[in-house]
Amino acid sequence: MAEASPPPTSPPSLEPGNALFLDVDGTLIDFADRPERVHLLPQVRDSVSHLSERLHGALALVSGRPLAQLDALFAPLRLPAAGLHGHQLRGTAGTGQAPADASASLHRLHQAAKHLAATLPGVLVEDKEGIGLALHWRNAPQAAQQVLAFAEAQLAELPGYRLQPGDHVVEFVQLGRDKGVALELLMGEPAFHGRVPVFVGDDLTDEFGFAAANRLGGWSVLVGTRRPTAARYALPDIAAAHAWLRQNAGIPG
């Protein structure tokens, strides 16, 4: 019988030479019934702020959300960040716009998705700044198969895109960018250069970040119980992630 790989264990403490990459939803903040209804606990914002100082600015958010939403959630902090799975990068040249030839197809997709959502109560369509689109079924778990079948069929009409599955969501994401690419690009920035990357995330899209951090000589932390994973370490839930961040930020309790 093949030996199963050992389950990931608790992460070690960060060292001064680390660079920290944090996913947001499902890692720092809990899911809500609608993506815009989430909020960040003030004490978590404090931990992130302290940690950023401890790491001399080598702390970045890496999220599927647009940068504008990340800034609103973390205000008054304005952290280095990758939004929309790396299509938007703060501080690098990689700011993303939908290619001209994709906007008409994206518009058609948006219309078709709205029609689908109208027939499936609880399914949400999220426009990602005209660069991508997400279909959420957290409030309609019975619709998962229909939404996924719709997404597969629509993908054929949208060259240059791929489907990114996630937790009760599927997203249309442009080819060529993912959280691993985002990590590698941010590692080229002065605040990050020469440091050892650590990526913390929960979802399938974070596996790209885990693999990139591991490949660059760093390590990775899965938040939650999803398996299999490329992450070397795991924290059981968001509360444990909060506690780990607080401890690494040097905040007692």
Question: Which residue carries 């499936």 as its tokens?
Answer: 120
Q: Is 23 a catalytic site residue?
A: yes
Q: Is residue 178 close enough to count as binding Mg ion by CB under 5 A?
A: no
Task: Closer to Mg ion by CB, 96 or 209: give it.
Answer: 209
Task: Closer to Mg ion by CB, 26 or 66: give it.
Answer: 26
Distance CA 232, CA 182 (A): 20
Instruction: Give the containing element (helix H, strand E) for 221.
Output: strand 219-223
Of 23, 25, 178, 206, the active-site residue reads 23
Q: Are 205 and 198 within 8 A, CB to CB?
A: no
Contact window for Mg ion (CB under 5 A) among 7-15, 23-31, 77-85, 111-119: 23-31
Least gap, CB of 228 to Mg ion (angstroms): 17
**Among 20, 23, 128, 195, contact with Mg ion (rule: CB under 5 A):** 23
**Among 203, 210, 229, 248, contact with Mg ion (rule: CB under 5 A):** 203
Q: Are 205 and 118 within 8 A, CB to CB?
A: no
Contact window for Mg ion (CB under 5 A) among 19-27, 77-85, 142-150, 230-238: 19-27
Which residue lies nearest Mg ion, judged by its C-beta? 26
Alpha helices per DSSP H over the chain = 42-54, 67-74, 100-119, 144-155, 179-187, 206-215, 238-248
Question: Which residue carries 């990050």 as its tokens?
Answer: 192
Q: Are 172 and 148 within 8 A, CB to CB?
A: no
Task: Closer to Mg ion by CB, 71 or 207: give it.
Answer: 207
Distance CA 69, CA 250 (A): 27
**Among 71, 129, 178, 202, contact with Mg ion (rule: CB under 5 A):** 202
Q: How many residues bind Mg ion (CB under 5 A)?
A: 5
Distance CA 28, CA 241 (A): 7
Q: Is residue 207 close enough to count as binding Mg ion by CB under 5 A?
A: no
Distance CA 54, CA 11 (A): 18
Task: Closer to Mg ion by CB, 118 or 239: give it.
Answer: 239
Task: Closer to Mg ion by CB, 63 or 105: give it.
Answer: 63
* Residue closest to 151 by CA, chosen among 175, 171, 168, 122: 171
**Among 11, 22, 25, 218, contact with Mg ion (rule: CB under 5 A):** 25
Q: Is residue 26 close enough to count as binding Mg ion by CB under 5 A?
A: yes
Residues that bind Mg ion (CB under 5 A): 23, 25-26, 202-203
Catalytic residue numbers, as ranges: 23
